[in-house]
Structure 1
Amino acid sequence: MNQNNYPEIGGKSAKKALVLLVIVYIFNFVDRQILSVLAEDIKADLSISDSDLGFLFGTAFAVFYSIFGIPLGKLADVWSRKNLLSLGLASWSIMTALSGTAKTFTALSVYRFGVGIGESSASPASYSILSDYFSPKVRSTILSIYSSGVYLGAGIGLFLGGWILQLWTNAFPEPSNAPFGLKGWQAAFMLVGLPGVVLAFFTWNIEEPKRGASEGIETPEEPHPFKMMMKEFIGVSPFGLLYSQKPFKPLIKNILIGLLIFIICQQLTVVTGDLVQWTAFGLGAYFLACWIQSLQIREPATYEMIFGSRAFIFSTIGFPFISFVTYSMAAFGPAFYMRNHGINEGEVATILGLMTAFFGTVGVISGGVIGDKLREKYVNGRLYVGFGVILIAIPSGIAFLYEENLYLSYFYYAFFQVSTPMWVGIAPATASDLVMPRMRGIATAFYILMVSMLGLALGPYSVGKLSDIYFANGFSEAEALRTALALGLSVLVISAVALIGACYYLPKEEKTRLERAKLLGEKID
């Protein structure tokens, strides 16, 4: 502890917090990823399609994760971050366990909504704690270590889900003889969900660092944190525009934006026939538009620091489209191997689970380290890692999808898993570097929202829908899914173009950050 009774920057408490937050992120992705290895059984049991699976894995989770992530990100900026994290952890763990009681597509969708709401509290709070606990010089490395929980959790989720499913099914081939009549996929949800409630008691005892301490920037305490959060909740609705002294013009603009979103989503519904997908996505897009409009009215400084930064906008487009690919592969990777190579849930759980955990962790941590090293020499050093990801992901993805030899396919899959996570710690570090400490929760919540809407809500659904279309046109289920996953790689072109834009604007905008903040009325000591 220092003289002000705050933990030391980079000290023992910081390292303890990092370890505990990595464990929380592991639980986060165990609960999120387990659906993919259970997908074939859920599909058969609930009589749903690949696009329905994509909706459950992606949109059902992502839209609510996005909408609630903004107000909870604000709460992370003004309230106890470890308390917010603990309450969120307990709630999403309970909703994961309740997923095991679902007997219909609708019920499972509702529980996935709940998991999304609970998990939306985790990353804004964690990013904020870690950004204040460690020096900006190692921020990419620290956030990459934290983000290793994504791949450890995804791997463990695959491993546990697959083996629980297989062992339970072998033990109770007739579900009516199983405890409470549970099927294997239902038991898996329950058994991985409940331990998170216990972990929440440990996270409640994390020591919080002083906000802004790692950069020597004083950040005053907010006396009314929940009032600020409620303003942010109101801000994701049209009512947030009433804060304006002249609300008529913003409301008209909002109505026109809402009408445009409605027309686009209505047409997509006509084309695809998926009312639930495009209703959910349209609501998410509309609430995002409402929030951006109201933020401009309520917190013009925060709005200008985020949306006045072209580097921020380009990076929060470029990186999320990489996640379009990674979430699609995460959602359908197990099904791809089961359909194309004829392996069972146990083998998928073991091989893909271990590979995802090991190679994904190596990739995300090495990406952060490489990014920080390049950042020492080049202003755009961290962004260069994103280009490296794209250059490796496309050939390795095509190779593992079309290689007929199973073991060679695993070999190429390992390359894919090492390369594609390298951006994960880079992106939030870039976002944090472009705003002031008090804005980090909102900035990272917006970044996560973009990952959720562009990557998670669109990726798995789009690949699932393409798979359904190819299957309806005479492809086998195996070939339909393979082709859909391969076509999904094409969105990396969007990522490359956006990252070029970020590289163009980042040097100037990062250099003028404090100057711009002062001009916007921020107090900087």
Structure 2
Amino acid sequence: MDQSSITPNASDQQLVANGDNESATSLLQDKQGRRRDNLSEVTFFEYMTVGILCYVNLINYMDRFTLAGVLDNVKTAFSIEDDKAGFIQTVFVVAYMVFAPIFGYLGDRYSRRCIMSFGVALWSLMTLVGSFMPEYKSFLLFRGLVGIGEASYSTIAPTIISDLFVGNVRSKMLAFFYFAIPVGSGLGYIVGSVATAVAGNWRWGLRVTPILGAVAVMLMLWVMKDPERGAAEESHMKTTTYKEDLKYLVKNPSFMLSTLAFTCVAFVTGALAWWGPQFIFLGLSRQPGVDITIGSVSYKFGLVGMAAGAMGVPLGSLIAQRLRPRLPDADPLVCALALIASAPLVYTALLAASPSVPQPLVYLMVFLGMLTLNLTWSIVADIVLYVVVPPKRSTAEAFQILISHMLGDAGSPYLVGVISENLKRKFSPFEAPSKLVEFRSLQYALFVTCFVEILGGLFFFLTAIYIVKDKLKVERAIAEAQAQNAEPSHSTAESSSAAE
């Protein structure tokens, strides 16, 4: 694309110099509009970069949920109950969220390609070594180290997409990127269950993704493109101190409210993804004449999750893109309605896993609950990128990861496990809990996710109040930076003309 088409000329600079912010914003939108909806202008190497990022995101989530697909085997191997089983995921997420701000700071200032390559190499190696750990505590340690490696990638990857594209092209690429999350999660269940069935040992499921991770490191180092920060918007804005970055984010209402809303999404996703196969297995195994295993349930749960994500993530992005021209605050409104619609569907799915309901209907309700939940993923990512200025986006991603995981899925698997164990003791205080007691205890514990979804919907509605104003602030800041960057070249041209 002709770079002059997005570089302000002298008259453009005058608009900003005169303080005409609305005109500056219109100018920016007009100059970026030529690339806003035109996928034909995306280069081969840009497609390659997005493809590599999606591949790494896919194996990233495969690794996270391989254990969830063989959770019953893990409990047996380490002789642990629900609370300690949930704590495995909590340790991973805590390490993930604690190190995310560090990588966010580095990602705004240093080579993103090198940082991500280091992170993928770290989590791949730690996953492989952890699969050989014989004791519960040593296994926990390595799951925490895996979380550190994954924090580097998840924090930085979306910002590379934001620096390559603008407008609806960016939205489409983000939808493709986040499409890999539910698909990768579903593959994690499938890989875990299939590897266990073939090798006769659940640990072999953890030894698949390290091989794929080694391929990802080579692709990132030698093929992937790492654009200049703010390149797509031609902003060239300078970085500020970390303290100023955090102050900017805390004072950004759209960012903070959407982060709280996404925290609710993370809470629900973490709880259902970790306990879903175990819960369905407990429910369906009570049906008369039915012979099922946790492996077969995990396999089907993975397929359902993949289908829900494959439809939900791009569908949410498409709905938002179609509504934006007529409804400027469409993004948070779509997310709010999706979460509120998901709550009764998840509740119905939790009730459906019983002896009197056919298996296909159970999985259908699970699919619908996950479909509506997945509508929010790429939209939330898009919101963060357009309400935050380019040099602060890695920090913003890291801050959102910290908050959403600290208050979301870092604790939800463990919290559900603790509630379930306490209910078991209440329902069966003097003897080992029956299968019915185990099922009911986990069912009641999972009901908390429905209330959290409603809370998330309310936060998204609040985001809609501020979203248009905050987006305009970013567009004005970028337009001003474009004008300021163009001034030296304009002055140089004038000097050359005078000399002649």
State the TM-score, normalizing by the size of structure 1: 0.77
Partner of 2:199, secondary structure, is: helix
- Deviation for aligned residue 1:91: 0.8
Match among 80, 84, 98 for residue 129 of structure 2:
98
In structure 2, the residue matched to 1:208 is 226
- Deviation for aligned residue 1:25: 0.5
User: Does residue 322 of structure 2 align to residue 373 of structure 1?
Assistant: yes
User: Does residue 353 of structure 2 align to residue 396 of structure 1?
Assistant: no
Tell me if the contact between 2:69 and 2:277 (Cα under 8 Å) persists in the aligned partners. yes
Tell me if the contact between 2:253 and 2:463 (Cα under 8 Å) persists in the aligned partners. yes
C-alpha offsets along residues 466-521 of structure 1, whole Å, 9 cap, x if unaligned? 1111111126111211121122221123212222221112222222235578999x
Match among 485, 507, 510 for residue 471 of structure 2:
510
- Deviation for aligned residue 1:156: 0.7
C-alpha offsets along residues 28-71 of structure 1, whole Å, 9 cap, x if unaligned? 001111111121111122122212122211x2012211121111
Match among 74, 99, 108 for residue 42 of structure 1:
74
* Unaligned segments of structure 2, at least 5 residues: 5-39, 286-291, 429-436, 487-500
Tell me if the contact between 1:136 and 1:215 (Cα under 8 Å) persists in the aligned partners. no
Matched ranges for 1:78-477 at <5 A: 78-169=109-200, 184-205=201-222, 206-219=224-237, 298-342=241-285, 343-403=292-352, 404=354, 405=357, 406-474=359-427, 476-477=437-438
Tell me if the contact between 1:102 and 1:186 (Cα under 8 Å) persists in the aligned partners. no
Distance 2:142 2:324 in 1: 42
- 1:83–1:340 Cα change, 3 Å: same
Structure 1 or 2, whichever has the larger Rg, is 2
Alignment-mate amino acid for residue 127 of structure 1: P
Alignment-mate amino acid for residue 129 of structure 1: I
Tell me if the contact between 1:9 and 1:213 (Cα under 8 Å) persists in the aligned partners. no
Distance 2:463 2:476 in 1: 20
Alignment-mate amino acid for residue 407 of structure 1: P
Distance 2:274 2:79 in 1: 18
Distance 1:381 1:479 in 2: 39
- 1:201–1:94 Cα change, 3 Å: same
Q: Which runs of 4+ in 1 moved over 6 A?
A: 1-4, 516-520
- Matched residues, number: 431
Q: Which moved more, 1:208-217 or 1:510-519?
A: 510-519
- 1:95–1:2 Cα change, 3 Å: farther
Tell me if the contact between 1:159 and 1:350 (Cα under 8 Å) persists in the aligned partners. yes
User: Does residue 487 of structure 2 align to residue 487 of structure 1?
Assistant: no
Tell me if the contact between 1:138 and 1:372 (Cα under 8 Å) persists in the aligned partners. no
C-alpha offsets along residues 375-429 of structure 1, whole Å, 9 cap, x if unaligned? 2322211111212222321121112211132211111111112111111111121
- 1:3–1:429 Cα change, 3 Å: closer
Distance 1:505 1:486 in 2: 31
User: Does residue 58 of structure 2 align to residue 23 of structure 1?
Assistant: no
- 1:490–1:3 Cα change, 3 Å: closer
Tell me if the contact between 2:69 and 2:189 (Cα under 8 Å) persists in the aligned partners. yes
In structure 1, the residue matched to 2:100 is 69
Tell me if the contact between 2:87 and 2:413 (Cα under 8 Å) persists in the aligned partners. yes
Tell me if the contact between 1:155 and 1:353 (Cα under 8 Å) persists in the aligned partners. yes
Tell me if the contact between 2:344 and 2:450 (Cα under 8 Å) persists in the aligned partners. no
Tell me if the contact between 1:382 and 1:426 (Cα under 8 Å) persists in the aligned partners. yes
- Deviation for aligned residue 1:146: 0.2
Tell me if the contact between 2:69 and 2:299 (Cα under 8 Å) persists in the aligned partners. no
Tell me if the contact between 2:333 and 2:461 (Cα under 8 Å) persists in the aligned partners. no
Partner of 1:213, secondary structure, is: coil
Tell me if the contact between 2:264 and 2:408 (Cα under 8 Å) persists in the aligned partners. yes
Tell me if the contact between 1:10 and 1:135 (Cα under 8 Å) persists in the aligned partners. no
Tell me if the contact between 1:132 and 1:209 (Cα under 8 Å) persists in the aligned partners. yes
Alignment-mate amino acid for residue 234 of structure 2: G
Alignment-mate amino acid for residue 495 of structure 1: G
Tell me if the contact between 1:428 and 1:447 (Cα under 8 Å) persists in the aligned partners. no
- 1:2–1:120 Cα change, 3 Å: farther
Partner of 2:375, secondary structure, is: helix
Distance 2:252 2:335 in 1: 19
Tell me if the contact between 2:108 and 2:392 (Cα under 8 Å) persists in the aligned partners. yes
Distance 2:97 2:2 in 1: 37
Distance 1:303 1:39 in 2: 38
Alignment-mate amino acid for residue 479 of structure 1: R
Alignment-mate amino acid for residue 163 of structure 1: V
